[in-house]
Structures are given as C-alpha cells and as structure tokens.
Amino acid sequence: LLCWTYVRVLNMWKYSVLFSYVGTSFCGWQKQKLSAEVEDKPSIQFVFEKTLQRITGESCTIVGSGRTDAGVH
C-alpha cells in the first residue's frame, strides 16, 4: 500500500488507494468469471474485494483506473 485517502459523500465513505504489486501470481487486474477465480491465478480485483470483505464484514466493489494483463510485473 503506497497511499490512501478518503472522503464522506452522501452518507457513504469513498476511498482512493494507490498500491503496487507483482503480477506473476495473478490473471490480471479485472475480475474474471467465477471459474477463472477459483483456479490457481485469481485477479487482483477479486483478491482485493475479498480481503476488504473479510476486514469490514461488508461486500464492496473496487473500480480500477487502469488494467494489468496476466503475468505483468
């Protein structure tokens, strides 16, 4: 995690997170169909959303401002 900010808009918290990762173990940024996510290489978006769900106890959707292809590092 490199940087994060947050703001409250209409009773909802919105966060901005800037992070970096090594993409070797992932199938890219964007969530794939469920069958692809349970294989050996999940997407970054899938892992990030599931981690936040475990931390907060709530479901959330991540919106990326860029994409990474599979295996990029």
Catalytic residues: 69
Q: In this structure, are residues 18 and 6 in contact, taking their beta carbons and an 8 Å threshold?
A: no
Rounded Cα–Cα distance for residues 30 and 63 (Å): 9
Distance from first CA to last CA of the chain, Å, rounded? 16
